[in-house]
Amino acid sequence: MNGESKLKNSEDGPPDLSFDLASMNQSQDLLPESLKKLVPTYNIYKSLREKIRVRNGKIPYPTGLTELDNLMWGLPKGELVTVGARTSQAKTVWAMEAAKNLAMNGQSVLYLSLEMSKEALVERLLCNMCLIDNRDLLMGRAWDEVVEKEAAFVSWLKDARLVIDDHNGYRFKAILELVDHFNFDFIIVDYVQMISTQGFKDKLSALEDFVKEIRREGKQKGYGTILISQLNRTAALQDRPYMHQLKAAGILEEHSSVVLLLHYDFSKVPHKYTIYVEKNSSGNTGKVDINFIPQYYKMEDLNTPIYLDREPARKDLL
């Protein structure tokens, strides 16, 4: 009871209520390496207390989508997030929005593209931040607009701690080398089913090893991991996606702290895009609707005006 009272009145830190874990070692032998990470719960609280102290009511790692951020309190650092959707459902658009907004909030982000080239992704970022129509840019009709608008974009790129790589994300060992040399806050893998199967008997074994290892390293080194994932073919038969439709669903469900599923019906309601928070280990689950402006590869809150001065982009440009 006295200890509890001291905790309530403590200003400089928790009282010293610790015990010597070594005294519980009955054999008094040197501990094996696997047991040296054991710490008293008091020590865990000392570390946790500092994290609680600096919380200030602001979302630390926002996606930039207000309702989604309020629902899940932003992206978790040191945890694994899986983001799934069917083919041509703008998974990469969401991932680039997240990368951009994390970088805008001072986070260092490594974006590992296993499908698209780094040049294609920077072109999408140019459309997104300068509001340049992707079709005009593709067809060579937007050069004057690029020259007019690019100054702020180039200035941001010079300072942004955003690295886009289309070479090193296929094998976990290559990612580990990057992480060991650079202190990234978040790593995005787009998309995880494209990893290499070399050295594994099948894709499922390779995926399981990759997911387990990247989750373990993320927890140990403190970076957040976002895996973009395909859904299986049965998802096309449903009005909305479900977690069991993730490819290798069991592996991704088990190891992810957060699972987001994206849904966009190109033919029904233009600009309406839905994000389902299907799993959230430390917060709420639910559904969020946002604006999607395909011609700018852009996602925004519903209360943000939609740009209607240009026709929507073709589906094959998503």
The confidence band for 5, taking pLDDT boundaries of 50, 70 and 90, is very low
* β 162-165/272-280 pair status: unpaired
The better pLDDT of the pair 39, 287 is held by: 287
Q: Which two tokens stand for residue 118?
A: 């780094």
Which of 257, 268, 264, 267 lies closest to 297 in space, CA to CA? 264
Domain 66-317 class in CATH: alpha beta
Residue (of 53, 55, 131, 120) closest to 92 by Cα position: 120
pLDDT tens-digit profile of 192-242? Answer: 988 888 888 888 888 898 999 999 999 999 999 999 999 987 766 678 899
Q: Are 242 and 252 in contact (CB under 8 A)?
A: no
| pLDDT computed for residue 1 by the predictor | 44
pLDDT (0 to 100) of residue 22:
60
The string of pLDDT tens digits covering residues 50-94 is: 888 877 888 889 999 999 999 998 999 999 999 999 988 999 999
**For the chain, which residues make up each domain, given as ranges?**
2-53, 66-317
- Higher local confidence (pLDDT), 233 or 292: 292
How many whole angstroms separate alpha carbon 16 and alpha carbon 24?
18
With a pLDDT cut of 70, the percent of the chain lying above it is 82
State pLDDT tens for residues 149-206. 999 999 999 999 999 999 988 888 888 888 888 889 999 999 898 888 888 888 888 8
The upper half-sphere exposure of residue 128, i.e. CA atoms within 13 Å in the direction of its Cβ, equals 22
